[in-house]
Structure 1
């Protein structure tokens, strides 16, 4: 009997991360999620996963605080040992993030640093810290954005950080290949969530604009994304590596 697979979804308490966590559980994986401040939301996700017959745990983590990663890794190690009698997990999904929409000329250093810490520096050093805990033949999924392919005003800093993540994805695939670890980036298009203040979901004009510029004629939903991440964390995707996979319904093609 093969060992039970465990996925760690960073930022898995709401929105896309919640959908990814649930999709991974539906595929038969046990799931660990992190949350920044929404503990109650995270616990609700855990309850949903446990109703599927899978084991799940929620841990607090602020991905923008690199100096907290050693403590997080220590806590994760303890959870793996106590709940699963393991020293490793199999799949790491780097999903946590925020959205800031500001014109280039008015983007300030504080906003830039916040985006850097959460979307690039935090991801870079969190992977580094967790690498000893990722099992061989495992997978890392980095969440990017359609905004690295097409440009919409106001996202210069956010999209630049995600562009860096896409380059990092290829380098990690190269350097971790000897351990059989695949590394891919998933790039969602515009999705109806509370991300960025819920602008795509709640602003009818934005929603209509996106739908009109998407080949499939609608805005994306969280359910459009989670299954792709779950697939990339499966044996069927073992030969998919170093790829940027856009999941946008054909936005701006």
Structure 2
């Protein structure tokens, strides 16, 4: 059995070039963990994050990955295996953050089948089969964090397709925890509330009326920012939270209580 006793710990972060993924990657590096991050198209953004992680004294590598195309996951796993060997002289990494994603805003009556299929491919099928392909490379005693959304708990019109996938991720997380427990792998889900990023066209960040509405419905009286989320995720990769498993952790400041 492989273990996580190596001095250097390594995390794979999907969608780590921007938004919450970028923030999480930096927070993870601040915990003394090296990072393999993925990006879909903006290599320049990913390279910037790699440089920022290096400035923190950790090592990082950026790899391209389209999480909507499960046909590419086997090749990606081969790439990760090669990077582990060449950069870290390791066969396994320790932590996986399934973060990459995009959204769709459309009422149930207006949602197209193509939009629905995209949500399935990215947020549900993608997480399921990418994790499957990477399981042989995750060290026993490791950790997996999946990203959900507050929208899986409360309902806002226009997010049915997206939120349904996140509901599926929350169920999948419990099954992952059950099946991987024999390997000592803990699996949890973090569900952010509304956050000021470019997600969904940056509506929460840029639409003053929407921003004010969200703030008025949040117990702490403001909209979340990426720094509110990255540390939550990174903490789940530390020994302090080693006994937290199969849990949904909502980081929303107390939305719609």
**TM-score (normalised: structure 2):** 0.98
- 5 Å matches for 1:117-156? 117-156=121-160
Corresponding pairs, count: 253
- 5 Å matches for 1:26-105? 26-105=30-109
Question: What SS does structure 2 have at the residue aligned with 1:11?
Answer: coil
Runs of 5+ unmatched residues, structure 1? none
- 5 Å matches for 1:110-189? 110-189=114-193
For the residues of structure 1 that align with 2:150 and 2:6, how far apart are their CA atoms? 36
Question: What SS does structure 1 have at the residue aligned with 2:87?
Answer: helix
Among candidates 219, 224, 232, match of residue 223 of structure 2? 219
- 5 Å matches for 1:183-222? 183-222=187-226
CA drift at 1:185: 0.2
Coordinate RMSD, CA, aligned = 0.7
Among candidates 237, 243, 246, match of residue 239 of structure 1? 243
CA drift at 1:74: 0.4
For the residues of structure 1 that align with 2:187 and 2:23, how far apart are their CA atoms? 20
Question: What SS does structure 2 have at the residue aligned with 1:193?
Answer: coil
Question: What SS does structure 2 have at the residue aligned with 1:106?
Answer: coil
Matched, 1:18 2:22: yes
CA drift at 1:123: 0.5
Matched, 1:9 2:13: yes
CA drift at 1:199: 0.3
| Superposition misfits of 4+ residues, deviation over 2 angstroms | none
For the residues of structure 1 that align with 2:213 and 2:42, how far apart are their CA atoms? 31
Runs of 5+ unmatched residues, structure 2? none
**TM-score (normalised: structure 1):** 0.99
Question: What SS does structure 1 have at the residue aligned with 2:109?
Answer: helix
CA drift at 1:2: 4.3
